[in-house]
Amino acid sequence: MISGEIVEVITIKELVALGNKVKGKIVFFNIVMNPTYIGTFNAYGESGIGRRSGAAEAARYGAIGVMVRSLASNADDYPHTGVMSYNDSFPKIPAVAISTNNANAISAKIKNGKVVKVFFKNNCTMLAPVQSYNVIGEIRGSEKPQEIITVGGHLDSWDLAEGAQDDGAGCVQSIEIIRAFKKAGIQPKRTIRAVMFMNEENGSGGADAYLENAKLKKEQHIFALESDAGGFTPRGFTLDMKEEARNKVNDWIQLFKNYSVYDFSIGGSGSDIDDLKTIGAGLAGLRPDSQRYFDLHHASTDVFESVSKRELDLGALNMAAFVWLVSEHGL
């Protein structure tokens, strides 16, 4: 348990300017997600510096603890957790996330000239690693079974909720592709492999093991698609592949427009499949409408009831269509 006076900052640069003035105090990173970004993932990446490295930076100047405004786009009372890292050169001070409503209330008091003191007790600890596994199912290709298409999501989630959007949705959508193909009697030309990756949230050990195994077996991976942005209404796919492959995908865009899927743009795919490009795979990531994602992301509200079956099905349908096109025509 620690207690102390709060010092509010809205940037790392502001913390650096304060320097040793934060010694013995609790640094409050009140970094608001920028609402002017239409793509909320851009705001998340930019504002996340306080959570990711705030404790290490504050410890550099003698702070005794850190409070972080949750990376949430809405005003509510639910703290949102996530990855952070320490610097071994400085003390590992405790850090906690607080809800956006609480962040606003504390900030208002400080702006009114009040000295705000808090105390908090943190029981978190890092346990030793344990054995865990990816879960894999596949349909062997009828003509080119050696050419593998991977589609997946990740099994693990932050333990304060069910992780239904992050990333139960992606797992269900990937399984649905296999189920739907089998139900419809569709035999793909290339092998389609659905992978439920483990350990995405804390190190990507499942992704590393999958890549290592692919190299060991000298597998030929031609395409990988990940769903790790929630089970909301699909709007498009981000593409990370060679120009020739992108041109081929662009010829297919008109097939998706009746489902209001239209945004095929260059961008990242997903952390579980990203390194598959080192063995030749073209990559893509499902991009649903992101406006509500950070209302729930890494919070206790990310539960089964937050997922719309219709939106989930639409995402799975468009993923299945994309996978089928690659299976039939390659990249």
* 123-132, 170-179, 190-199, 235-244: least confident range: 123-132
Whether the pLDDT of residue 125 is over 90: the answer is: no
Residue 323 CA to residue 305 CA, distance in Å, equals: 28
pLDDT band of residue 279 (cuts 50, 70, 90) is very high
Please give the tally of structural domains in the chain: 2
Say whether both 106 and 164 belong to one domain.
no
Say whether both 252 and 319 belong to one domain.
yes
Q: pLDDT tens digit string along 70-124?
A: 999 999 999 999 999 999 999 999 999 999 999 999 999 999 999 999 998 888 8
Say whether both 160 and 100 belong to one domain.
no
Q: 223: which strand partners? A: 149, 282
pLDDT at 122: 85
Of 120, 144, 173, the domain-final residue: 120
User: Does residue 204 fall inside a structural domain?
Assistant: yes
CB atoms within 10 A of CB 171: 21
Whether the pLDDT of residue 308 is over 90: the answer is: yes
pLDDT at 282: 98
Say whether both 93 and 197 belong to one domain.
no
Q: pLDDT tens digit string along 206-218?
A: 999 999 999 999 9
CATH number, domain with residue 53: 3.50.30.30
User: Does residue 282 fall inside a structural domain?
Assistant: yes
User: Does residue 215 fall inside a structural domain?
Assistant: yes
Say whether both 144 and 114 belong to one domain.
no
Whether the pLDDT of residue 1 is over 90: the answer is: no
User: Does residue 129 fall inside a structural domain?
Assistant: no
User: Does residue 234 fall inside a structural domain?
Assistant: yes
Whether the pLDDT of residue 126 is over 90: the answer is: no
Say whether both 96 and 240 belong to one domain.
no
pLDDT at 286: 98
Say whether both 103 and 21 belong to one domain.
yes
Say whether both 289 and 320 belong to one domain.
yes
Residue 2 CA to residue 230 CA, distance in Å, equals: 36
For 170, half-sphere exposure in the C-beta direction (CA atoms, 13 angstrom radius) is 32
Residue 319 domain boundaries: 135-329
CATH number, domain with residue 161: 3.40.630.10
User: Does residue 127 fall inside a structural domain?
Assistant: no
Catalytic residues: 200
Say whether both 116 and 139 belong to one domain.
no
Side chain identity, residue 227: S
Whether the pLDDT of residue 160 is over 90: the answer is: no
Whether the pLDDT of residue 269 is over 90: the answer is: yes
CB atoms within 10 A of CB 123: 5
Say whether both 173 and 65 belong to one domain.
no
Q: Give the chain's mean pLDDT.
A: 96
Q: pLDDT tens digit string along 4-44?
A: 999 999 999 999 999 999 999 999 999 999 999 999 999 99
User: Does residue 130 fall inside a structural domain?
Assistant: no
Answer with the residue of higher pLDDT: 101 or 125. 101
User: Does residue 125 fall inside a structural domain?
Assistant: no
Say whether both 282 and 210 belong to one domain.
yes
pLDDT band of residue 127 (cuts 50, 70, 90) is confident
Say whether both 90 and 14 belong to one domain.
yes
Tell me what percent of the residues of the chain surpass a pLDDT of 70.
Answer: 100
Whether the pLDDT of residue 326 is over 90: the answer is: yes
Q: Give the residue-averaged pLDDT of 176-187.
A: 96
Of 86, 120, 154, the domain-final residue: 120
Threshold 0.85, pTM exceeds? yes
Of 69, 95, 120, the domain-final residue: 120
